[in-house]
Structure 1
């Protein structure tokens, strides 16, 4: 019997729109401009005295970039990066080739920015190790936002769990376009049985950033729950991941 795929189509039901553009940085008058050296040292001093949360994105990025390349002010490089990509998240998700045309960013700094993102992903992944995932839903959602929240196309992932709700494996089950993706529930059930999973969490992203589930998202959730129940595997949750927000079907009563 040929299996029918569940087609996720987020375009008709998506709520919201593009993320707001970042506010333009304030421009200081020549009289109030600080000398170059103190200006560079100020964010580091504030970091030591007030903590990293007190700094702006530009200041944190300037600290990360260091003193920039010769002939380029590190604060201007940081502002240019954020303006170019629209957000800190989009910048960290960008492939290396997108940095090549930007003045003040060489291969070494592009590699460093990618390394920062990967370190964050691994740190969040380690927080999930050997812990029941139902006890740390916030960590799961943070990890998934970093993993797939900024992808330019739809991705469907499965977190297969053992009887104690510990992670066995995370796998990408399907990949689609900006608004459509085919998901095969029978293949997910087959994989759960192969891995001897007792339960699983599934998630997919909405590249638009809006996390309100579409009609096809709701239909897929019903089909998955019913199909998995036939083989005594529990679907713990279906998460819709945006760049900033997450929708949980379980928290919303599976409606």
Structure 2
């Protein structure tokens, strides 16, 4: 018997707390626990458990919602009850949440200090498994008007070419650029390559008339501003 048919048979015998759709319609999404919201995304469980019980098992396996949001396709599909489609739908939902959060923060305030950048970008970059070099493009009021991942991989001056950075800046009519990258190790201490890349980009910015305001390195809930550290 399929999980869908099994769920249909159980029907009204399922306790109300295991029927999150009904609770959401009655009380609104804010009243639902993480497992209930997750169950709505999952839609169906397995022959042995409801969607709600499957959601509880996922949260327990990955420890919490954040751990689940960081799970790879392979990690998700390794669990009973999660096939490729369910895994992809979950990952898509979490990615939309991250993007919405980032865009909302972009519109809130002008960038004045390195911690303003860190508050916006740490949630997005702290858990990346590879180094990502990202540029934030600012207007004359220091508000973010765009964001672009320039490359993924180990930072090297020969890879982070000023042409790619300033091509995107010019396309957006940017007044300034803030560069960021993450250290998957969690330690944001700048390397020699980080410092060389920063100086190269700053010099190129002076030539094209677009200021490189800072280079912020993201670690595990920590950051280092190369400007504050005296490397710019």
TM-score range, shorter chain: 0.5 to 0.7
Q: 1:252 to 1:217 in 2, by over 3 A?
A: same
1:57-112 residue CA offsets vs partner (Å, 9 max, x unmatched)? xxx65454349834344544422233xxxx85453133434311212445447624
Match of 1:18 in 2: none
Q: 1:92 to 1:134 in 2, by over 3 A?
A: same
Mapping of 1:120-135 within 5 angstroms? 120-129=98-107, 131-134=109-112
1:192 to 156, 166, 169: 169
**Partner Cα distance (1:90, 1:206) in 2:** 19
**Partner Cα distance (2:216, 2:188) in 1:** 9
Q: Tell me if structure 2 keeps the 8 A contact 1:239–1:249.
A: yes
When structure 1 is superposed on structure 2, of 62-71 and 72-81 the one drifting more is: 62-71
Please give the TM-score of this superposition, normalised by the length of structure 1. Answer: 0.62
**Partner Cα distance (1:66, 1:187) in 2:** 43
**More contact order relative to length (CA 8 Å, sep ≥ 6):** 1
Q: What runs of 5+ residues in structure 2 fail to find an aligned partner?
A: 1-14, 19-29
1:213-235 residue CA offsets vs partner (Å, 9 max, x unmatched)? 11110121122222212333222
**Partner Cα distance (1:229, 1:243) in 2:** 32
Aligned residues: 200
Please give the TM-score of this superposition, normalised by the length of structure 2. Answer: 0.67
1:103 to 61, 72, 80: 80
Q: Tell me if structure 2 keeps the 8 A contact 1:153–1:175.
A: yes
Q: Tell me if structure 2 keeps the 8 A contact 1:158–1:172.
A: yes
Residue 124 of structure 1: CA displacement?
A: 2.6
2:60 to 61, 72, 79: 79
**Partner Cα distance (1:230, 1:250) in 2:** 19
Higher fraction of helix: 2
SS of equivalent to 1:210: coil
Aligned-residue RMSD, C-alpha:
3.7
**Partner Cα distance (1:232, 1:123) in 2:** 31
SS of equivalent to 1:207: coil
Residue 136 of structure 1: CA displacement?
A: 8.6
**Partner Cα distance (1:143, 1:96) in 2:** 26
Residue 200 of structure 1: CA displacement?
A: 0.9
Q: Tell me if structure 2 keeps the 8 A contact 1:151–1:207.
A: yes
Q: 1:154 to 1:229 in 2, by over 3 A?
A: same
SS of equivalent to 1:236: strand
Match of 2:97 in 1: 119
